[in-house]
Amino acid sequence: MVDIFKNLNQNQIEAVKTTEGRVRVVAGAGSGKTRVLAHRYAYLVREFGISSSNILCMTFTNKAAQEMKNRIAKLVDKAYVNDYICTIHSFCVKFLRKEIHRIGYPKNFAIIDSLDEKALAKDVMAEMELDDAYTVKQFLDEVEIYKSINPYIEQIILPDRKNQLEAKCESYIICYILLQLETFSLDFKDLIEYTLYILNNFEDAKIYWQEQFNYIMVDEVQDCSRSDWKIIDILSQFYNNLFIVGDPDQSIYEWRGAVPENFINFKSDRDFILDENYRSTQNILNVANSIISNNKKRIPKNLYTQKSSDYIAVHFHGKSEEEEGNWIANQIKSLVKQGYDYGDFAVLYRASFISRVIEQALLKHHIKYIVWGGVRFFERKEIKDVLGYLRLISYKDDLSFKRIINTPSRKFGKVSLKKLQDLANEKKMLLYDTLVKYKDLPVFNKKSILDFINLIEECRAFGTTKSISDLLAYILDASGLISMYRKDSDQEQLDNISELINSIKYYEVSNAEEENLSLDIYLQDISLYTNADYKNSGTSVKLMTIHQSKGLEFPFVFVCNLTEGIFPSHRSIRERKRDGEEEERRLMYVAVTRAEKGLFLTESEGYNSSFKLEKYPSRFIKEIDENLIKVDGKIDPILYKGTEYLVNSIENEINPNDVIEGLNIGDRVKHKIFGEGEIVGVNSGHSYRINFNGKFRTILEEFLIYLGKK
């Protein structure tokens, strides 16, 4: 068995041995925080004989929990690696399976993910005949806000349930919550809130769980929300052995309610600061530091490393997105030739739509890859839907037909499809052709179906008179597909569709000399990506969003599409102003500090039609000291003028004086759903009573944008 104290420095050993009381480790990326936590677990089990079921270890993402578990597994006997090494949500699930009966739920309650949430929201919206302008996203945002500020468990879930279910819902939010109740389904927020409710209200349950965990350790604690903290606080009250680990510079979930201040203001018995980084080379660390030092709201740290820099960080500037993708693929291939493994590479990006360019390049170069925590671009539902229309127009194939005939809904369900299928089998015809031929049969003769046929026929008739991108724009609109997605208002899906349009425009420009560029040729050309055979054997390059990469490390890291506006995301800056900008920079810091040996920052020129954005290098590249990075590719200095222009224009858009730090009565604020309003009351817990044109609501600070004094 590995020596617990091997490869730990003096400070780390001290932290491992300080088992009792409230202990905090604050340290930069790669300084061995997670390592200390894992070794501390082993120390408790191996030296103190603490049963592993009495130790709770939590973090915030599945991958990070897995990493924590893997590291612990290397230090203790298999039998001691238990289920209490997990994310806070999975702890809540375990807790609730045992305790939820106290509030009348069965222990096999359902957990609903965001897709189920949307389906439920749509049901309620249809039932309540909510107006068309109201999107599913707005609806769910309102539910979330409602759940944040109202004791909904006491008020809605518990009282006189049966009567409520039978009574007519008095508001759509209550109706939604009651529907959840009817199916005993909990969303992620409920998991936390229900756990908290039971801990607060059932003394014996509280005592049981407090006594269960002699030791509690929490990694990445800067990502804790207020309610997460409360759970941790209650659970640790009995033994008071709480070990928390974090790095305020890596706080990247404030947009979702994380409050790193709780970590900074934590009353500890003992603090440890780790300042040696064991992960990255000095060069990588310097790059990270030169970026993060631009944040004003931070406590400076002094990280150093003894790892010599064999590779200097590279900034690659491509003339086009294709060049950027190819460059990444070629770098990987050449390093693999030098003896590295495909598994040594991670490609990180700000938003998942960006994977498209990288995936296409890797597929073209026959490099195996996996998309971690996500779905490949061309397998995403919305992309398959959109391509389904194009395919049906071109090929009339049954697969595409079945995919899109009822997307969006045309009231052509399973029964109609079965009838059509039987008829098609009998006549030995394609489904689409059968429908066209027999459209006058009563079962098919509906306006929605006739409109559908007309649309497809009309598009077929366009031939090459319309460009593919124009054709697609027309279909998205006329089929109702885009309004269906807009109504869901799932930004990620909309961004993916925009990215597909962007790629088609790029395809048209790159094939401009080709006469009569037809839809058939396009579909053939992209079949490499859409029909790729993904049987992965051996190791693969890993693609993931930066959020997914939290707590992990890779020998070589590519951070791609570093285009001002995309990363940092101007959308985030618009929404959260200076706080948004600083959070974007912390995200960049997280990305850079994942790298052990080599770091590659890439971006390219061109016009991103989906973002309506001329592409200029990200401000983060400009922030890096020139001596720390080698530039590959010719970059015209004028491009940085473009960056400057974009930075200034977003600066002007967000008033520099309007950082929200406690609002006052009389302040004007904006809320993304309720619009502009005025603060009329300040409550505890950062919430405000606001007058929105005569309607009063209580809203949490993080959902407000400050507009100025009255």
Helix, strand or coil, per DSSP, at residue 558: strand
Instruction: For residue 35, state whether it binds ligand ATP (rule: CB under 6 A).
Output: yes
Instruction: For residue 410, state whether it binds ligand ATP (rule: CB under 6 A).
Output: no
250 assigned to active site: yes
User: Which residues pair with residue 272 across a beta bridge?
Assistant: 25
* Both tokens assigned to 105: 């739920």
451: nearest Cα among 422, 416, 409, 390:
409
Q: Please identify, among the stretches 203-211, 347-355, 543-551, 632-640, the one whose residues bind Mg ion according to the rule CB under 5 A.
A: 543-551
Biggest alpha carbon–alpha carbon distance for the chain: 83
Instruction: For residue 301, state whether it binds ligand ATP (rule: CB under 6 A).
Output: no
418 assigned to active site: no
Q: Which amino acid is at 657?
A: N
CB of 243 to Mg ion, least distance (A): 13
Instruction: For residue 24, state whether it binds ligand ATP (rule: CB under 6 A).
Output: no
Would you say 71 or 94 has its CB closer to Mg ion? 71
CB of 125 to Mg ion, least distance (A): 41
Of 219, 228, 495, 603, the catalytic one is 219
Of 24, 33, 350, 597, the catalytic one is 33
Would you say 272 or 611 has its CB closer to ligand ATP? 272
Instruction: For residue 247, state whether it binds ligand ATP (rule: CB under 6 A).
Output: yes
Q: Give the burial class of 524: count Cβ atoms within 10 A of its Cβ; 0-12 exposed, 13-18 middle, 19 or more buried.
A: exposed
Instruction: For residue 7, state whether it binds ligand ATP (rule: CB under 6 A).
Output: yes
Of 180, 250, 281, 434, the catalytic one is 250
Instruction: For residue 28, state whether it binds Mg ion (rule: CB under 5 A).
Output: no
* Both tokens assigned to 569: 């995301």
Instruction: For residue 70, state whether it binds ligand ATP (rule: CB under 6 A).
Output: no
Cβ 282 vs Cβ 309: under 8 Å: yes
Classify strands 345-349 and 276-277 as parallel, antiparallel or unpaired: unpaired
Would you say 39 or 578 has its CB closer to Mg ion? 39
Residue holding tokens 């120390």?
Answer: 43
CB of 493 to ligand ATP, least distance (A): 30
User: Which residues pair with residue 258 across a beta bridge?
Assistant: 225
219 assigned to active site: yes
CB of 285 to Mg ion, least distance (A): 16
Residue holding tokens 């390059």?
Answer: 541
Residue 32 touches which of ligand ATP, Mg ion, none (Cβ within 5-8 Å per kind): ligand ATP
Instruction: For residue 61, state whether it binds ligand ATP (rule: CB under 6 A).
Output: no
Instruction: For residue 34, state whether it binds Mg ion (rule: CB under 5 A).
Output: yes
Strand order of the β-sheet with 22-27 is 85-87, 55-59, 215-218, 242-246, 22-27, 270-274
For residues 299 and 301, what is the distance between their CA atoms, to the nearest angstrom?
6
Instruction: For residue 551, state whether it binds Mg ion (rule: CB under 5 A).
Output: yes
34 assigned to active site: yes
Quote the crossing angle between the two packed helices 33-46 and 10-17, to the nearest 10°: 50
Instruction: For residue 9, state whether it binds ligand ATP (rule: CB under 6 A).
Output: yes
* Both tokens assigned to 668: 């004007």
Binding track over 585-614 against ligand ATP, x by CB under 6 A: --------x---------------------
Instruction: For residue 351, state whether it binds ligand ATP (rule: CB under 6 A).
Output: no
Classify strands 242-246 and 22-27 as parallel, antiparallel or unpaired: parallel
For residues 226 and 228, what is the distance between their CA atoms, to the nearest angstrom?
6
CB of 256 to Mg ion, least distance (A): 19
Cβ–Cβ contacts within 10 Å for residue 140, how many?
20
The helix (H) or strand (E) run that includes residue 110 is: strand 110-111
What are the angstrom distances between the C-alpha of 260 and each of 124, 142, 225, 264?
36, 24, 8, 6
Q: Please identify, among the stretches 4-12, 29-37, 287-295, 573-581, the one whose residues bind Mg ion according to the rule CB under 5 A.
A: 29-37
135 assigned to active site: no
Instruction: For residue 30, state whether it binds ligand ATP (rule: CB under 6 A).
Output: yes
> Is it true that the peptide bond before 408 is cis, omega within 30 degrees of 0?
yes
Count residues near ligand ATP (CB under 6 A): 19
Of 594, 597, 615, 619, the catalytic one is 594
CA 199 and chain centroid, separation: 29
CB of 38 to Mg ion, least distance (A): 10
The Cα angle at residue 350 between residues 346 and 356, in degrees rounded to 5: 70
Count residues near Mg ion (CB under 5 A): 3
Catalytic machinery residues: 33-34, 219-220, 250, 594
Residues that bind ligand ATP (CB under 6 A): 7-9, 12, 27, 29-35, 247, 250, 278-279, 551, 553, 593
Residues that bind Mg ion (CB under 5 A): 33-34, 551
